[in-house]
């Protein structure tokens, strides 16, 4: 029996096709080591406002 709540086709996915060279470059980018990103590091160091309001222990600690 099929679950009536699941759509027949995934609604949150997109299928696209590329040639072999484009796919190779895409895989290289995925496999490459992460680049230094100071903006992302600064963002991840911030304490979320909801943590402070919820009085969550360790909210201001950084890893």
pTM of this prediction exceeds 0.75 = no
Neighbours of 42 (CB within 10 A): 9
Per-residue pLDDT, 6: 66
pLDDT in tens, 2-57: 556 666 766 788 888 999 999 999 999 999 998 999 999 999 999 888 876 667 66
CB–CB of 59/48 below 8 Å?
yes
What is the rounded distance in angstroms from the CA atom of residue 20 to the CA atom of residue 26?
A: 10
What is the rounded distance in angstroms from the CA atom of residue 12 to the CA atom of residue 41?
A: 29
Q: Rounded to the nearest 5 degrees, what angle is found at the Cα of 47, between the Cα atoms of 59 and 45?
A: 110
CB–CB of 57/47 below 8 Å?
no
């Amino acid at each position: 029996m099929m679950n009536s709540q699941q759509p027949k086709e995934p609604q949150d996915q997109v299928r696209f096709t590329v040639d072999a060279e484009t796919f190779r470059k895409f895989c290289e980018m995925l496999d490459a080591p992460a680049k230094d990103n100071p903006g992302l590091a600064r963002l991840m160091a911030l304490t979320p406002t909801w943590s402070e309001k919820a009085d969550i222990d360790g909210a201001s600690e950084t890893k």
